[in-house]
């Protein structure tokens, strides 16, 4: 039971890991131009809407509060002069209470507190709501200080006392509190007016502006989406056309409509595609002509070369004969003819092989081979047993083309012996990777001076020779190129490097089973004539 639960948790974790690795849709990535346009439009709209709403709210708030505040303060000041100013110099509490009630019944409906001194010198209070209503404790101390402070009389100030006001918040309710003294002597009056109706109106305004901002943001996003679709649709078509062009479909063209910048871009793309198609067609025609020339030349050379080879074989037999039938004066010339004839024969065979690779007609003849036996046979056939150290266990099998493997090994080992010198070490191992699967890795290392760094990138180039001062060397400059093509046709690779211990190392990697690649190549070549037939029809 525990194992089942553990497995369930493992599967859930695996599913979570898979889901976490799932890529986001292209339009949700910030690298997407569509998303960036929507975000930019949204930010611009949000900034504009918030700024406009903030300014509108601030202006309306000031207007509402200023209008209400002005009306209340004017009414309070007028009531102070008319009613509080008519009180006697030393009023009683009842008189203050009655006058405060009358003042509170004005049109603005505010609470009133009157403070005076009676005949006995005591401070008496009278409020519109009684003793439990608006009291002196509800008035900020700073406001009381300002109200009771006598100002010096000047040309600009003709009254010793002034009206002062302040906005306060008590228990979440905003109030306007004001106070003043009666001009000419009399009680001190304080007023408190609730601003809760105005606050509710302003809150409603804020909600309305917030909703308007949200609608503006949604509208901007929709507008950005529409604009992005209008702008990006031609760009998307251009991207598809560019991918098709990159896939080799050079007849791809864009439909041009309009006179804007995108239409100009489409016209430019069509002109570039047309020029590229023409250039590629010209290059393909020249390449085909070059391949036909090399193939025809190689075939034409084989006939006279066969006759020359037969003659040189007779001459070689005469040279090796003990009768001494060849004049010693011409013996070096005969040996040179025999050597150059062999070299010419190898060159013609290499050219024909290169032509087959270029034409795509090279085929694999697969067989199950023991790699160690195949290497031993290659070394033995060329009498290299004393110069080559083989480090290969028997039993490493691979399904490859034995003839082409022999060509690759002969080139790599022959080059190592020729340029690096013996002993040459050949090692074989098996490797497995997720990307390439099971492989046979054959490393050929010599103990020579190594390959110059500027030569390494070009060792597999055709007709490349490291020393330009010796254009006539024993090789044709095609051996390593043909070896690399034979590795590629198997789905393998050859790399060249210098060993840290000295000498050059050529590493051949071949799949243990080249059958899938060979079948795919055969199917592709089988479909090619059908396509050519369809194109011709």
Burial of residue 36, with CB atoms counted within 10 A of its CB: 0-12 exposed, 13-18 middle, 19 or more buried: middle
Report if residue 190 sits inside a domain: no
Listed in sequence order, the residues at least 6 apart from 178 whose beta carbon sits closer than 8 Å to its beta carbon are 72, 73, 76, 143, 163, 164, 165, 166, 190, 191
Q: Final residue of a domain: which of 316, 334, 352?
A: 352
Average pLDDT over residues 418-444: 87
Do residues 315 and 367 share a domain? Answer: no
Question: Distance (Å, rounded) from C-alpha 127 to C-alpha 291?
Answer: 115
Q: What percent of the chain has pLDDT over 90?
A: 9
The pTM (predicted TM-score) of the whole model is 0.46
Residue 169 · residue 198 · CB < 8 Å: no
Do residues 343 and 369 share a domain? Answer: no
Do residues 298 and 430 share a domain? Answer: no
CA dihedral of 375, 380, 385, 388, whole degrees rounded to 10:
-30
Do residues 332 and 399 share a domain? Answer: no
Structural domain for 301, as ranges: 261-352
Report if residue 432 sits inside a domain: yes
Residue 442 has pLDDT above 90, yes or no: yes
Report if residue 450 sits inside a domain: yes
Report if residue 41 sits inside a domain: no
Listed in sequence order, the residues at least 6 apart from 100 whose beta carbon sits closer than 8 Å to its beta carbon are 112, 113, 114, 126, 127, 128
- 8-state DSSP, 23: P
Do residues 346 and 433 share a domain? Answer: no
Do residues 505 and 410 share a domain? Answer: yes
Range in 21-35, 69-83, 149-163, 312-326 with the lowest mean pLDDT? 21-35
Give the model confidence (pLDDT) of 190-239 as tens digits.
Answer: 999 888 888 888 888 888 888 888 888 788 778 777 777 777 777 778 88
Give the model confidence (pLDDT) of 252-294 as tens digits.
Answer: 888 887 777 778 888 888 898 889 888 888 887 877 776 676 6
Q: What is the CATH number of the domain that holds 497?
A: 3.30.565.10
Do residues 518 and 433 share a domain? Answer: yes
Report if residue 272 sits inside a domain: yes
DSSP letter string, 139-195: S-HHHHHHHHPPPPP-SS---S---EEEEEEETTEEEEEEEEE-TTS--EEEEEEE-
Do residues 309 and 433 share a domain? Answer: no
Question: Distance (Å, rounded) from C-alpha 488 to C-alpha 510?
Answer: 9
Q: How many domains does the chain have?
A: 2
The rounded mean pLDDT for the chain is 79
Report if residue 8 sits inside a domain: no
Q: Final residue of a domain: which of 352, 374, 399?
A: 352
The predicted structure's pLDDT at residue 451: 87
The predicted structure's pLDDT at residue 350: 67
The predicted structure's pLDDT at residue 428: 92
Do residues 369 and 346 share a domain? Answer: no
Range in 3-7, 411-415, 434-438 with the lowest mean pLDDT? 3-7
Range in 35-44, 141-150, 197-206, 295-304 with the lowest mean pLDDT? 295-304
Do residues 335 and 388 share a domain? Answer: no
The predicted structure's pLDDT at residue 307: 77
Question: Distance (Å, rounded) from C-alpha 399 to C-alpha 492?
Answer: 13
Per-residue pLDDT band at 9 (split at 50, 70, 90): very low
Report if residue 120 sits inside a domain: no
Average pLDDT over residues 490-514: 90
Reply yes or no: is the peptide bond before residue 423 cis, omega within 30 of 0.
Answer: yes
Listed in sequence order, the residues at least 6 apart from 430 whose beta carbon sits closer than 8 Å to its beta carbon are 396, 438, 439, 440, 441, 512
Question: Distance (Å, rounded) from C-alpha 5 to C-alpha 28?
Answer: 36
Do residues 473 and 336 share a domain? Answer: no
Residue 441 has pLDDT above 90, yes or no: yes
Average pLDDT over residues 114-141: 80
Question: Distance (Å, rounded) from C-alpha 189 to C-alpha 181?
Answer: 6
Residue 188 has pLDDT above 50, yes or no: yes
Q: Final residue of a domain: which of 330, 352, 374?
A: 352
Q: What is the CATH number of the domain that holds 327?
A: 1.10.287
Report if residue 334 sits inside a domain: yes
Do residues 288 and 318 share a domain? Answer: yes
Average pLDDT over residues 357-381: 85
Q: Is 256 helix (H, G, I), strand (E, B) or coil?
A: coil
CA dihedral of 459, 463, 468, 470, whole degrees rounded to 10:
110
Residue 120 · residue 150 · CB < 8 Å: no
């Amino acid at each position: 039971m525990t194992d089942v639960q553990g497995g369930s948790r493992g599967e859930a974790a695996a599913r979570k890991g898979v889901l976490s690795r799932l890529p986001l849709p292209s339009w949700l990535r910030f690298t997407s131009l569509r998303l960036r346009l929507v975000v930019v439009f949204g930010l611009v709209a949000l900034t504009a809407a918030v700024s406009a709403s903030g300014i509108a709210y601030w202006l309306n708030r000031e207007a509402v509060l200023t209008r209400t505040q002005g009306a209340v303060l004017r009414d309070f000041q007028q009531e102070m002069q008319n009613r509080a100013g008519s009180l006697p110099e030393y009023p009683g509490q009842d008189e203050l209470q009655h006058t405060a009630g009358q003042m509170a019944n004005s049109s603005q409906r505010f609470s009133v507190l009157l403070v005076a001194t009676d005949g006995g010198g005591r401070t008496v209070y009278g409020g519109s709501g009684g003793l439990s209503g608006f009291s002196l404790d509800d008035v900020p101390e700073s406001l009381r200080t300002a109200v009771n402070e006598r100002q010096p009389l000047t040309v600009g100030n003709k009254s010793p006392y002034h009206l002062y006001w302040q906005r306060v918040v008590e228990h979440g309710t905003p109030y306007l509190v004001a106070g003043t003294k009666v001009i000419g002597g009399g009680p001190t009056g304080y007023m408190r007016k609730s601003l809760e109706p105005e606050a509710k109106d302003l809150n409603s305004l804020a909600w309305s502006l917030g909703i308007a901002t949200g609608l503006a943001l949604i509208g901007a996003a929709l507008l950005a989406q529409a604009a992005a679709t209008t702008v990006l649709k031609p760009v998307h078509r251009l991207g598809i056309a560019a991918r098709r062009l990159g896939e080799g479909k050079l007849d791809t063209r864009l439909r041009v409509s309009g006179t804007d910048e995108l239409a100009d871009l489409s016209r430019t793309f069509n002109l570039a595609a047309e020029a590229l198609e023409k250039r590629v067609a010209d290059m393909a025609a020249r390449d085909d002509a070059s391949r036909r020339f090399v193939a025809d030349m190689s075939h034409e050379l084989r006939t006279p070369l066969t006759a020359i080879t037969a003659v040189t074989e007779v001459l070689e037999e005469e040279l090796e004969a003990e009768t001494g039938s060849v004049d010693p004066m011409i013996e070096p010339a005969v040996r040179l003819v025999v050597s150059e004839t062999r070299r010419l024969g190898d060159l013609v065979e290499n050219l024909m092989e290169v032509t087959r690779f270029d034409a795509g007609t090279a085929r694999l003849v697969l067989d199950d081979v023991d790699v160690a036996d195949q290497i031993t046979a290659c070394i033995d056939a060329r009498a290299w047993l004393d110069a080559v150290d083989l480090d290969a266990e028997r039993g490493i099998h691979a399904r490859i083309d034995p003839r082409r493997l022999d060509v690759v090994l002969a080139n790599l080992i022959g080059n190592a012996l020729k340029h690096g010198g013996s002993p040459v070490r050949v090692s074989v191992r098996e490797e497995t990777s997720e990307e390439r699967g099971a492989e046979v890795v054959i490393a050929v290392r010599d103990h020579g001076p190594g390959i110059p760094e500027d030569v390494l990138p070009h060792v597999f180039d055709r007709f490349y020779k490291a020393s330009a001062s010796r254009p006539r060397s024993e090789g044709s400059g095609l051996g390593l190129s043909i070896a690399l093509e034979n590795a590629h046709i198997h789905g393998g690779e050859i790399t060249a490097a210098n060993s840290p211990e000295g000498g050059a190392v050529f590493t051949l990697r071949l799949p243990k089973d080249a059958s899938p690649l060979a079948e795919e190549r055969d199917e592709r070549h089988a479909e090619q004539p059908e396509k050519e037939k369809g194109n011709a029809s």
